[in-house]
Amino acid sequence: MRIFKFGGASVKDAAGIKNVHSVLQQVGYEDVLLVVSAMGKTTNALELVIKNYFEKSKELNASIQEIKKYHNQILLDLFEDDKNAVFTAVNKHFLDLEYFLSSNKSPNYNFVYDQVVSMGEIISTTILSHYFNHVGIKNHWVDVRNFIKTDNTYRDAIVDWDTTQKTISKNIKRKVLNITQGFLGSDENNFTTTLGREGSDYTAAIFAYCLNAESVTIWKDVPGVLNADPRYFENTTLLNQISYREAIELAFYGASVIHPKTLQPLQSKEIPLYVKSFLNPLLPGTSIAKGSHLEPETSCFIVKKNQLLLSLSSIDFSFIMEENISEIFALFHKYKIKVSLIQNTAISFSVCIEDKFGNFGELKNILAKKFKIFYNENVSLYTIRHFTDKAISMVEKDKTVLVKQMSRETMQIVTQE
């Protein structure tokens, strides 16, 4: 079986969905499982709904209507007949959403977030499935929440591999086209969970692992994995072949092409991952597989914006040692703060961190009881794999360098722009 993942940008409008159809016609769709994200920026739009809900804003209804209108337009563009069953099916999902919001009693933000934000994927796959039936491609709509089981860490759920493996290998139909949602799972009580923003790639990898798939293809609006993000760098080049290890390094430091958790399950079963253009589906794109390596060693540039550079030093000039460091890390873990660079001296300790969940304020107060704290907000972390002098000076140009760290293959530079 082949697993195909189509992200939000590939299904952002009717033309995008028609293009997915065209991709399937070119590359085949027998024995395929499609993993699909929410359409366009729907996840962000649903995040606004959640915000309005918790703030009891009078914009709540309008923010829901906005999402309805967007999907309705796509439906009108795809189906000539507005009596098609898809209209009722999509409407039912919106009614479910409204019912949930009007009856929910849980004050748990993360729980509510997952119940609401999941509608994006439920609706997008409903539309795709109906559309493919409409154009003569029979398919099975699969509710991923019956297959990917997780713990109840809402917004960042951890997969229960044993149960997931059993359910998927037993119940997913082979030799047909399956369509399912990325990003979602469900907990023991069947409440919806999510795997972290941009988690649909990971969903594709979970299915691939459990089905011993032949390959995973992530269809993108770029020709494959580039050596740098074209939004921030000029003259990018396509990487034809990379190893799992290189890809994990690139993804971990924030190359936004692949979700970082995606590679581990694939690597452990040596399932190749292809990143290809949904506009030119027959081009080879990038292949990430065992034993492949970057040749020649192209410098790769990854930038993470909106980071925090935090420095802690001891109040009484005592050393910052293993003991304090482990305590600091336990706090990062507790507050879900991601650390992407560490540097320490005898009495000070610096980290470049990302405060995805807005917990830094609280953590800072706790740390301030024990340490002197300095921090810079809004810094950028540049990671250069296979660096050269030229690559470094290109990154440093016109910027203030706050930290610079070098290892054999990787240079990391924290800058304030």
Q: Note the residues at the interface with ligand ASP (CB under 6 A).
A: 7-8, 37-38, 43, 120, 182-183, 197-200
Please state the residue numbers annotated as binding site for ATP.
231
> What amino acid is encoded at 308 in this protein?
L
Comparing CB distances to ligand ASP, the nearer of 183 and 301 is 183
Q: Alpha-carbon torsion 78, 81, 87, 89, what sign?
A: negative
CA gap 122, 174 in Å, rounded: 22
Smallest distance from the beta carbon of 101 to Mg ion, in angstroms?
21
Please state the residue numbers annotated as binding site.
121, 231
Comparing CB distances to ligand ASP, the nearer of 184 and 352 is 184
Spell out the residues 6+ positions from residue 350 whose beta carbon is closer than 8 angstroms to its own. 309, 310, 311, 312, 342, 343, 344, 403
Comparing CB distances to Mg ion, the nearer of 37 and 227 is 37
Task: Report yes or no: 234 and 282 within 8 Å, Cβ to Cβ.
Answer: no
Among 8, 16, 40, 285, binds Mg ion (CB under 5 A): 8
The reply to whether 120 sits near Mg ion by the rule CB under 5 A is: no
Tokens 């209209």 label which residue?
87
> What amino acid is encoded at 413 in this protein?
I
What does 183 interact with, of Mg ion, ligand ASP, none (CB < 5 to 8 A by kind)? Answer: ligand ASP
What does 260 interact with, of Mg ion, ligand ASP, none (CB < 5 to 8 A by kind)? Answer: none
What does 197 interact with, of Mg ion, ligand ASP, none (CB < 5 to 8 A by kind)? Answer: ligand ASP
Closest C-alpha to 118, from 132, 97, 104, 103: 97
Smallest distance from the beta carbon of 105 to Mg ion, in angstroms?
29
> Across the strands, what pairs with 314?
371
Tokens 């690139």 label which residue?
250
Smallest distance from the beta carbon of 124 to Mg ion, in angstroms?
9
What does 40 interact with, of Mg ion, ligand ASP, none (CB < 5 to 8 A by kind)? Answer: none
Give the Cβ contact number of residue 107 at 10 Å.
8
Smallest distance from the beta carbon of 344 to Mg ion, in angstroms?
37
Comparing CB distances to Mg ion, the nearer of 201 and 246 is 201
Site string for Mg ion, 35-74 (x = CB under 5 A): --x-----x-------------------------------
Comparing CB distances to ligand ASP, the nearer of 194 and 287 is 194
What does 124 interact with, of ligand ASP, Mg ion, none (CB < 5 to 8 A by kind)? Answer: none
Q: Which helix (H) or strand (E) holds 307?
A: strand 300-314
> What amino acid is encoded at 276 in this protein?
K
Q: How many residues does the chain have?
A: 417
C-alpha pair distances (Å), 120 with each of 7, 78, 94, 182? 12, 18, 10, 10
What does 399 interact with, of Mg ion, ligand ASP, none (CB < 5 to 8 A by kind)? Answer: none
Smallest distance from the beta carbon of 201 to Mg ion, in angstroms?
10
CA gap 406, 251 in Å, rounded: 19
| Binding footprint of Mg ion on the chain (CB under 5 A) | 8, 37, 43
